């Protein structure tokens, strides 16, 4: 079992515990997302965006996730909306394995890997990018008519752009204490244009700093 931990939660973000799933935190986050957007768009966001967000959060809870962080009240003002999932260190690690050996294995096989040292911990960070334009185009083809009308000319612009999805991963923990390890997965998408690339770079720098805020809580 993963030990208790705390993290920094940026202003306007929601933190949702997943083990067990805190229904009150999830509901409050969805209400904040809807309330953050301009009034004409709220009904569309409520009907189309919040079910997707809720489904993602519930799926992570079913996977054994520990916590999710995401923009909520800051949803409308965030040009890029990363979702940070904190998971137990499980996949690819035997119960009797040393997590440090897992980190070394990632370093040997992942070209983007770099070693990191959050306070009192060691770990590894990776970052991968892939073009997801086809997925976006497929979604636009099935966009409900009322949502398409609300998007207006932005929809034509979206059809013409390349979409990139970034996956940033941080495997961090305390050497010698298998219960104090987590696997942090942050995902976000952006348009492949200069301004959006700059914003995505800023998100990457933010995540590199955010992971340093993870703190383990000693049992009472």
Task: Give the start-to-end residue ranges of the domains of the chain.
Answer: 5-216
Write out pLDDT tens, residues 130-154: 887 556 555 545 555 655 555 554 5
- Tell me: pLDDT of 5 over 80: yes
pLDDT of 17 reads 98
pLDDT of 48 reads 77
Q: Across residues 90-119, what is the average pLDDT?
A: 84
Q: Across residues 99-117, what is the average pLDDT?
A: 93
Query: Would you call 82 exposed, middle or buried from its count of C-beta atoms within 10 A (0-12, 13-18, 19+)?
Result: buried
Q: Across residues 59-73, what is the average pLDDT?
A: 96
Q: Across residues 162-173, what is the average pLDDT?
A: 92
Q: Are 99 and 170 in contact (CB under 8 A)?
A: no
Q: Across residues 151-175, what is the average pLDDT?
A: 77
Q: What percent of the chain has pLDDT over 90?
A: 58
**Before 20, cis peptide (omega within 30)?**
yes
Q: Across residues 159-178, what is the average pLDDT?
A: 88
Interacting residues of 60 by C-beta distance below 8 A, sequence separation 6+: 18, 68, 85, 87
């Amino acid at each position: 079992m993963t030990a208790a931990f705390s993290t920094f939660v940026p202003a306007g973000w929601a933190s949702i515990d997943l083990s067990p799933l805190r229904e009150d935190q999830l509901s409050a986050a969805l209400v904040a997302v809807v309330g953050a957007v301009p009034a004409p768009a709220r009904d569309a966001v409520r009907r189309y965006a919040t079910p997707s967000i809720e489904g993602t959060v519930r799926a992570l809870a079913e996977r054994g996730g520990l916590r999710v962080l995401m923009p909520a009240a800051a949803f409308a003002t965030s040009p890029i909306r990363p979702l940070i999932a904190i998971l137990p260190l499980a996949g690819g690690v035997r119960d009797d394995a040393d997590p440090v050996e897992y980190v070394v294995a990632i370093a040997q096989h992942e070209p983007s890997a770099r070693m990191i040292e959050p306070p009192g911990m060691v770990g590894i960070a990776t970052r991968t990018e892939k073009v997801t334009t086809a997925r976006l185009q497929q979604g636009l083809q099935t966009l409900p008519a009322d949502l398409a009308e609300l998007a207006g000319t932005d929809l034509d612009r979206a059809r013409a752009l390349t979409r990139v999805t970034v996956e940033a991963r941080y495997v961090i923990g305390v050497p010698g204490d298998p219960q104090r390890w987590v696997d942090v997965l942050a995902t976000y998408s952006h348009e492949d244009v200069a301004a959006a690339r700059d914003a995505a770079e800023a998100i990457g720098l933010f995540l590199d700093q955010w992971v340093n805020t993870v703190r383990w809580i000693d049992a009472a």
